Amino acid sequence: MHYSGNSPSREMVVETHGPLGTLWVSLGLIAFYIALIWLNTLLGVFLTPLFLIPGTWLMDKVRDRKARKLERERQGGQPAGRA
């Protein structure tokens, strides 16, 4: 878009580029969205293990902590509460 210099009211003139420009833009948009989908797929594939693996470590530690707590209760005979 540009302003025409002859008009005192500065009306806007919209330029059109015809069917070749439309095809060019459509090819660019197709390439952009294919790249976007590809990138999001790669992010999912590579980032998911970065969260799942430490999550399993955390769950293992919580399970082990509960197992130790139950074992202490059985051996000591007193409930596991805060004094």
pLDDT at residue 23 tops 70:
yes
Q: What tens digit of pLDDT does each residue of 27-75 get?
A: 999 999 999 999 999 998 999 888 899 999 999 999 999 999 999 999 9
Tokens in use for 13?
């003139």
pLDDT at residue 9 tops 80:
no
More confident residue, 40 or 19: 40
Element (H, E) at 13: strand 12-13
